[in-house]
Chains A and B, each alone.
Chain A
Amino acid sequence: MQIEYQTQRLSLRFFMLMLVLFLLQVGYGLILATQHIDPSVQAGTMNFNIARAEHLNLGILWILCGFIGAILFVGPLLARREMVAPWLIKLLFYALIFIAVWNFFTLRLAQYGIAGWWHGQPWLQQGLEYLEAGRIAGVLVLVGFAILAYVVLRTFPPVRQWNEIHWGLGLGVTALMAVWVFGLFYVARLDLQEYFRWFVVHYWVEGVWEVIHISLVGFLLVLMFKVDIKSVGFAVFWGVALVWLSGLIGNAHHYFWIGTPEFWQFWGSLFSALEPLPLVFCFWHIYLDAHTNRRPLENAPAFYFILGSVVLEQIGAGILGFSMTFALTNVWSHGTWVTPGHAHLALFGTFGMLGIAAAYYAVPIMRKAPDYDQRLGKLGFWLVLTGVLGLAFAFALGGTVQIYVYRILGLGWFGGDVSRAMGLFKLLLPMFGIVFTVGAGILAYDLFTLGRRVRAPAGTDPRGAIHGEVAMPRGSTGWGRPLSGFEAGIWLMLMWVFGGVITLGLLSFNLPRVRVLADPTLPYLLAGVGYPGLLLVTLAFVWRFLASLEARASLPAPTVVAVDAPLPLPARS
């Protein structure tokens, strides 16, 4: 495939910026993990809250860079013309760099208690989780979103000609900007402030970003597998509709304990329990769309990350989110390390991996290196996948201990009791963090230099060794045989079974046996089975799925397969 429109090339700089910010963000993550073990590290120079503000801020910024890069790359293809106003896009790029640098200097003012109050607003930094940036940066970000929305909507054809993907992206970029406005006011009441803060955070991740995600995944599949846009459109429509219909009132799962009335516990538990539906739906379509067509994978890393994104969305957002979304489970998980377990898997898994997938799809095309060496990309994928699953494991089990010690036993001394009891899991965090960081470094190196390195020597398969070493001997049996719909269903069910165990584990803290008699056996047992089970099944499933796809490379070229017909078993070569 080649570049069709020159403005598609503008996406390259956003992908590169994404990688730089990603590496910085991960660096801050390692510092945080170290400070959790020894809080005196950097104390007085860069306190934990400063590093954390940077970690969150950069996390949002690089994910946005990935979205923007992906949207710019597919935008002209969707519109069948060049992007309008490329100068605005360049401006957006420099604005993003400016915001990242500006935040680097302003966020650390929190160490001195400087917020930059002027006319009742904090202009330099405002000390609210995820919205740490001050008003100056906030307004700039709003301008950036306005530019993005303007460029996308002006480039797209008239609304009457929109298909489902136009709708998804068009609504997405507009809502991205609209929702941000709720974070731009100082609110004096704590309950009202938290109410509006979740407008930004929840409606972003569980509304806007998911919608952009579904649309982009859909279109990337169209591009990679030449899937029928009509069947993808169907999936995108139902995905988007279900996300918004469940997520709108689902926001109430953040209104259980912030000082808002009790009735939110009912509405929040009910609607947010439906939020995994579109994710199951999207997951299923990945299976269908990638498997009804039997072409060999041309660009393996790009597909690896799309798969990773959809699978981690399923387990990170769908299953771990589900487990803590009921008032009766959230009352325990809330405010503990169980939450960042979900946060890392859902945020990096779903959106981070999508940005990397888009980069792996677009960069080789822009650098004219379709036969690039795919080994580093695959290695990087496995490292970040294992790393982030490990991080979630450490957070979730550490959080389970935290619930027991802090909320059941009522021991409130973090340095003396709580952290000590969580010790093992606090140690695991930087260990998996290092695995993750190595993976991130490999990916960034690969994408920075892709197409500029020396090509693989003639005679070797430039797409990597996996085809030969793993898939060939197994051919179409065992791990490498084509994944059937039935089998994919079993995998999905297994994941949800472990998800159910996790949910029961949180629920079991309500039992008098645990709460009054302080016997932790049941919650520990359920968490000890549920989390590792879920994460290992996930790892195995991704492996299985990819082996099945890789095996195609050794199969004879496909004959046309009808979308709905059961797949005939291919003959072995």
Chain B
Amino acid sequence: MSCGTGGKSCETPRRRGAFVMLGIMTLAFVALSLFSFMKSRGQVTPDTVSYGPYRAEDGKRVFQAYNCMGCHTMVGNGAYLGPDLTREYEQAGPAWLAAFLPSAGSWPTAAAVRAQLQDPVQHADSGAGTIEAYESKFPDAATRVARRGGKPSNMPNLPLTRDETGQLIAYLKYTSAMNTEGWPPRVEAEAGPDERLRLALGVQAIAPAAAAPVAPPAAGPADPVARGAQLAKDNGCTACHSTTRQRLVGPGWGGLYGSRVSLADGSSVVADDAYLAESIRQPNAKIVAGYPASVMPGYDTLLKNDEVDAIVAYLHSLEKQ
């Protein structure tokens, strides 16, 4: 028989027909594809988007280098551990992102976002100089700060440099500007915020969460060390610094006070009150060896003198750690 094992095919004429059909369909597919990427369609391309000095094209490389898609989706593709990032820039805005990305292990507080707004690049990009203006421009950032600020996040800290952070923001700005045919679908639910939480988690489940955001004490505690500890937390310092010797984004505070610190320029200083106060106000004045410059925002205009003193007192109390 002609169609046995190793014998001839029985379907030869039909196969020809199938190949012809396939060829026609390939042509149609190629034509649709060419049209999809024509300039005249007006889809944004990364070479046209930047954030301050940072280019979206570089940001895409950073995004891939850290395999962000291994935990998040982008245009809906990727992993489902964290949220979709397509519209992240549009929702949270550049200052929230700049506060979050270098110390992703915890969520930015209002003070941490405010610190970012000092940066002229931020200012120019978001068009908001004050936290109030920023939050009204990016309402989602306001919700995030209110609900999560200062709490631990599920994302691990990544060793992002300042440039990489900026490039990532530029990339997210690009994806936010893309036309993705209405995806992710717009939220149309009418329920208010509390009602949504109740619908999502049930009544009992949200009770502890609702009680959680403790109002910051109106007048700081009298003890400067306790007050400093509270200030360090509120201003998002502990997102990047541990109270032990462990390195997070910045150096750990344990045993720092009074120790000799080697600086990036090769010199060294003793970590006394003056050095610590300066490092809070103008972190770039002296960079510790082994750390990149310009990661930490300057708190010069954000903290009053007595607040800086309280934080220094708190650091002093960690001397023995």
A residues in contact (CB < 8 Å) with B: 35-36, 39-40, 43-44, 47-50, 52-53, 77-80, 110-115, 117, 122, 125-129, 132, 157, 160-164, 166-167, 188-192, 194-195, 197, 222, 229-230, 233-234, 237, 241, 244-245, 248-249, 251-252, 254-265, 267, 331-332, 334-337, 339-340, 402, 404-421, 515-518, 520
Contact = CB atoms under 8 A, between A and B. Distances in A.
Given A335-B84, A409-B187, A110 B75 contact: no
Nearest to B4: A229
Given A110-B70, A113-B160, A402-B80, A259 B178 contact: yes
B257 interface: no
A127 B190 contact: no
A39 B179 contact: no
A397 to B, nearest CB: 14
A322 to B, nearest CB: 19
Contacts, number: 271
A517 B1 CA distance: 67
B181 A127 contact: no
A128 B1 contact: no
Interface stretch (B32-40, B259-267, B289-297): B32-40
10 contacts: A110-B65, A113-B160, A127-B68, A189-B46, A229-B5, A244-B18, A245-B18, A262-B181, A409-B191, A520-B199
Given A230-B10, A411-B200, A248 B65 contact: no
Nearest to A331: B185
Contacts of A194: 75, 77
A230 B1 CA distance: 10
B74 A406 contact: no
Contacts of B225: none
Contact of A415 (B43, B153, B201): B153
Nearest to B80: A337
Contacts of B43: 191, 259
A167 B16 CA distance: 12
Given A113-B164, A127-B65, 13 more contacts: A49-B79, A53-B70, A114-B65, A117-B61, A233-B3, A245-B22, A258-B75, A340-B80, A409-B187, A410-B196, A415-B153, A417-B200, A515-B188
Nearest to A42: B156
A399 B182 CA distance: 20
A113 B26 CA distance: 38
Given A265-B181, A413-B148, A43 B191 contact: no
Given A115-B61, A163-B9, A516 B188 contact: yes
Interface string B40-70: 0101011100000000010011111111111
B221 interface: no
Given A127-B65, A127-B70, A515 B189 contact: yes
B71 to A, nearest CB: 5
A264 B200 CA distance: 34
B299 to A, nearest CB: 27
